[in-house]
Amino acid sequence: MIIFPAIDLLEGQVVRLEQGRKEARTVYGDDPAAFAKSWKDQGAEALHVVDLDGAFTGRPANLDHVRKIVAAMGNVPVELGGGLRDEETIAAALDTGVTRVILGTKACESIAFVEKVVARFGGAKIAAGIDAKDGKVAVKGWTEKSEHDAIPLARKLEAAGVGLIIYTDISTDGMFTGPNYPALNDLLAAVKVPVIASGGIGTVDHIRKLREIPSLYGAIVGKALYDGKVTLGEIL
């Protein structure tokens, strides 16, 4: 299982949000590339980046920072999500050097669009983010709840050709209470595409329990690292 340290960008700053709420932010610094280099120096095998401005407004606002993050990570792969809702924006994001982009709102709104960008860029470069609360998928930076159920959407996205699914349980995100293991296991049983878990990780035991799930590809760790609940060295 691959551990993905997370860098969330908002107005050029590295932040973490509690349950995705913009007003419940903690700012950790204003040099995202320095954070990236720190994770690399600590042995990170991959990095997860979210442009929160993009998630809230529909268009990324931090691609210059993303470019610097990619440079700081060297040959370590970086994935990017947030506001990637048209082909030109996806192309611009990939031009920063990220390994893959993550579609959230647009993946929920249009399977046809997902099929189109998979055909253009290749499934390996297109991931889908499914952010759910009580089984329902949330969109637009988690500010709106859709009518989509997580598992049927995951199956459709897999059929559309995405190379990977990132599953975030909104109710546990940033709360340190542990991942939603039952929901995660249900999703893993429903699809064959690789899945990355996100949300709720706060202890080494949470990581250990995730590692016991044989089909889980990776886990994203954000606030627990920034708040010193765990260190990257002890969970790699």
The residues carrying an active-site annotation are 8, 131
CA–CA dist 235, 224 (Å, integer): 11
Structure tokens at 29: 């610094």
Could you identify the residue written with the tokens 């699914």? 165
Q: With 0-12 CB in 10 A as exposed, 13-18 as middle and 19+ as buried, what is 45?
A: middle
Ranges of H-type helices in the chain:
32-41, 52-57, 63-73, 87-95, 105-109, 111-121, 150-160, 181-190, 204-211, 223-226, 232-235
Classify strands 2-10 and 78-81 as parallel, antiparallel or unpaired: unpaired
